[in-house]
Structure 1
Amino acid sequence: MNTSNKLTLLMTLFALLLASKASAQNNTSRQDSLRIDSIAVNAHKTGLAFYKSGVYYQALDNYLLALSLQKDLNNTGAMFRLYEDICNAYFYINDYLMMKQYASEAVEYAQETNMIMPEAGFSLHVADASKNAKDSLAAETAYAHAYTLFQQIGDTMQMATVFNNKASLYGIDSPKKLASFQAAAHLLEVPPVDKKKQERLYHIYANIGDWYENQGDYQEANRYFQKSIEMAQATGNPRIEIFLYSHLAENYLKRGDLNRAKQLSLQTVALIDKHIGPNHTFDVALKVLGKVYEAEGNYRAAYNSLQKWSAVNDSLQKRNRQTEINKIEQRYKYESYRQDKLNEQNLELERKKASITNLRITLVGLITACILLIIIGTLIYLYSRKLKMKNRELYLQIKNQDFLVSKVEEKELTILASQPDTESSKSAKLYLSLKELMESEQLFKQTDINRKKIATLLGTNEKYLYDAVRENTDCSFNEYINRLRIRYARQLLTSEENLTIDEIAFLSGFGSKVTFYRNFREHYKLSPSEYRRLAIEEIVEKTN
């Protein structure tokens, strides 16, 4: 398998590994999302239970935990529901700055997600919170923004709510207050006037009546009070009537209209006895009735009414005290549980985050390793290619050198044959004799061949033989023998493919494989195996 195939195989294996890791990550991420969503839903449900019980601080703890988890999941619907519940909880504990903070956060998120309805609703929350926090300028701006959005949606009820809530920004005698109430009423009076509009209108009419009463315009006040009563009766909700009659009875008492105050008080008490019973919270009518009886001189009836009012008040106070005690007790018991739960959930989240971080680090490491392998593989491929080209050039140079050497030797033989017998020609002829002997007998293949044996065979002495070799080859006798052996080894490398390198080394006259490798590489700058590979490639190319 060549280098490029190995590189392709490595890259394929790493691609499969990365795909497997990515699939495992997706499955783990999906399971983690489901678990986090389950935790968030349970926290929200627990918060709603606390909220209904009046334990608003515990409710907020659960809401905020659920919100942080839903943010991680980017669950838009659940986030808006939680923002709504958080704003309501902060409203009931009178923390208007925190209510404004979370309402503003919800407005920003609604703008990011391009959802007009939630933006409008939470803009109204921002306005109400700013108003209660005594920030009139911010409230004005938020009310205007909310009204514009509700107008785009076409929600008449909410537009009227904006005007009604905005009215409390102004002083009790301010014309702006009256204008806001009247604008709200005008929006709700447009047919059809359904039950929801009636429930809203009775309250707005009563507010308008209060405004006229504060101005001393009792005729206009009575007109709106009567409209308020009619609208309350139209709702069919006795609690609304009770609340309204109690409020109006107290107003008429302050005004000195004892008959009207008594009438409304009696109506209120009758509705309470009919629909609610003795355990009620509407105690204002009893107080008003007692004051009316006192003004009429009916002290027994006044005493009975005030006694009943006092009993209701005492019951309410006792109940309120017990409610506060229960809240603190619940807070005390739940605090340790909540903290343990939060710590457990935080640890779980940290573990998941750490797992995700480790997975990311692993993926980055794998990608980096893959890139490094690709770079290293590319460098190895380029180096291998360059080395092959260089060896190819060396092989061609060797072939060309062989051709030139053969031509030179032929020319030298011709010249030497024609020269007269002189000292220099004797040396050359001795060299030629040596060459012929080596070609015919191939004595160089003998590992124990030496200069003395060859000199004896040529009928000369060692010194003459050494000088003849030195003068005609510019190398020593041993170097000359090694050249013959290397040249013969080259022939075997090309022609005898079945022979191993070790066998060729010994057949060529080398005493060891190491000596053969060293001499071959020094002479040709190539290893024997590389030379054989190039020679075989050349033969294949010529065959094709």
Structure 2
Amino acid sequence: MEKLRERKTLSPHRMDIVEGDLYFNTGKYYQALKFYKRALESDSVKADDKQYMEQVHRMISSYDCLHDELKKADYVKLLLQKAKACGNKEMESIALFNMGKMIYYQEDKKQGYELMNEAIELMKNTDYKYKYDNLRYNYNTLLIMQQRDNQYEKALKTLDLLEEIVTKDMEGTTDIGSLTDKEKKTMYAQRALILSRLGRMQEADEAYRAWLAIGDTYSKDDYLIIPYLMDRKLYDKVIEMNKAHEDFLYTHNDTVTYHMRTIKRSLGDAYEKKKEYKEAAKYFKDLAILIDSLKVREQKSSALELAKIYETHEKDMQIKEQKAKLEEQHIILVAILGVLFLAGLAFYLVIRHLRAIKRKNRFLARQIDSQLAYREELHKANEEIKQLLKQQHEPSLPIASGKQTQSREKEEDYGDIRTSAEDKKLFEELDRLVEEDKLFLDPNISRELLLNQLHISKNTFAQLIQAYSGTNFSGYINNKRLDYSIHLLKDYKRYTIEAVATDSGFSNVRSFYRIFREKYGMTPSEYRNTFEKE
């Protein structure tokens, strides 16, 4: 290219187009865009509508390969407007097809398909020199989308149209070696899969045999037959094919590729279907590592390509490039300093937050211990008062005896006629029963058990719990369990949290964690750690 430019064999804009094509065809799309843009801005291209539209088409293809949908959309609109204004059907077809693709991937699949089919019909009625190349691309794209959407009947029709173009002689078109055989093998693989998904197994098997007849040529595209083999449960065949490709790539040190990614996934799926899970796990692990490696390589490749763009500028741009590099280095330095500052600030904030959590946990732990100590002192005081009353021979009314017991059994029929003093004494008996026998430690404790022992109605029981514990039966029992768990957490430091939860009567450790946190504002582990540090 440098020698051609020195000789001035072609005009500057033609040289830019040729060099842009060179980079595009070698996958260096950023560098291709540099030359395509310069050609598009030249007066010669702007003055020729046909050249201008072809150049816009090149811009669309580049941004399509770079997955830059926003810039691609701008050029698609530009091409569509220009093509309609000029009455150029082939360029209108190209613009419509690209627009249909974009709309399809924006999840408006119905309109996307309509535009793509409209574009295909337009292209069929042109005498464009690249007509059949474009139709091949269009049908192959449609085929992928229809299979993805499980539209196998439509996919089969599309495949028939594609096969018609590939197999028949096209007058006035360039013969590209054995491209036809390669595409035939691809189509047989696709036909086998589509017919298999439609349940037409005999025809699918015939297509597979035709695929086999072509032989081992173009083996790089053998991945297309894998879904059919998986449908037919020919897992050993899948493994055999992919193992051979895997060994070939390892032999040639060509392992970080999308081809290898497809091989690893197919092998993992096949071994999984065979229920050889150890082998499947190995390949899925390799697949995860490979995907990460591919991402890193793509990033490096893009970075190198962008760097190369700066190196290929003309000599009159060198000073500007050096200035840009200095500014870039300055920005990177500032960015690094900013990142370091933000990292330091984030570290400081995290440490401060952790310290605040520790202080809060210590405060909450002291509150928990204070409340439990106060409750124990109150309980002792109540017991002392009861002892004094007994010593003074004050009469005590048994709660569940004689007529009183009978009246409880008939409360549902005659209404609640107890006094608040009787209610309190009844609740105290309930509480004593639960505490002394440690009934709350039974994860299967029920209301019925206590109702049978106290001989009271469900309504009375619920009212007593709500009035004197401030919660329902589940909350009352869980509060007892939490108190007991605090004792275990403090006195039995070698107990696991699971053991504490089980011994405290909770059915599972998850419930224990949730209820403990809701009441105390910290987890059991945090409470124990705070207590140990204290």
TM-score of the superposition, structure 1-length normalised?
A: 0.43
Structure richer in helix, relative to its length: 1
Max Rg structure: 1
TM-score, scaled to structure 2: 0.44
